[in-house]
Amino acid sequence: MSNIIITEVTQIIEAIEAIKISKAIKITEAIEAINATCTCESCKTDITLETAIPCDLCDEDEISPLYCKECTLWCDSCDLQGCKKCVKENVCWECNYNMCDNCINTDVDCGCFGECYSCGKDVDRGSDGWPCLGCDKWYCCNCRESNNNPCEDCGPES
């Protein structure tokens, strides 16, 4: 082999080594990024960035603060995950429904409360049961048993 070829081969080997080293650095950086920790905004526990859960409902300078799993809740209405300040636990004592601030501010509800189809009185799952599966109507206890309810499933004839 001539000296020129040897020099070229050496240069190629050096270039390959350089690529290997830069890849190794990138991999190390990636691992460091995965293992990077932050502090849960609520309980101040150290958590990895990978497991940290941002709360998009917290409005702090447009940066979502990060929380650990224990300090967050799912909204049962819109399936959004957020911190316990922004997603309220057990907004309904009947079904332990959790609800985010967005959903609380709208008319969404868990389905445990409604109005009697006949008299308009407030009904709830605890004292009036669910709407009838036969007629789809939700009556209060009194109207359900009254002769005004023609339904074969839930009416007085049943």
| CA–CA dist 72, 53 (Å, integer) | 8
CB of 20 to Zn ion, least distance (A): 41
Of 75, 81, 98, 128, the one binding Zn ion by CB under 5 A: 75
Q: Which x/- pattern over 49-68 shows residues binding Zn ion (rule: CB under 5 A)?
A: ------x-xx---------x
Of 88, 114, 129, 135, the one binding Zn ion by CB under 5 A: 135
Nearest to 73, CA basis, from 65, 62, 81: 81
CB of 99 to Zn ion, least distance (A): 6
Q: Which x/- pattern over 91-130 shows residues binding Zn ion (rule: CB under 5 A)?
A: -x-xx-x--x--x------x-x---x-xx-x---------
| CA–CA dist 130, 6 (Å, integer) | 86
| CA–CA dist 125, 128 (Å, integer) | 5
CB of 147 to Zn ion, least distance (A): 13
| CA–CA dist 67, 85 (Å, integer) | 11
Measured in residues, the chain has a length of 158
Instruction: Please report which helix (H) or strand (E) contains residue 82, including its range.
Output: strand 81-83
Output 3 or 105, the one with its CB closest to Zn ion. Answer: 105
Q: How is 42-73 classified by DSSP, letter by letter?
A: TT--EEETTT-EE-TTS-STT-PPEE-GGGEE
Using CB under 5 A as the binding rule, whether residue 153 contacts Zn ion is answered as: yes
Residues that bind Zn ion (CB under 5 A): 40, 42-43, 55, 57-58, 68, 71, 75, 77-78, 80, 82-83, 86, 92, 94-95, 97, 100, 103, 110, 112, 116, 118-119, 121, 132, 134-135, 140, 143, 151, 153-154
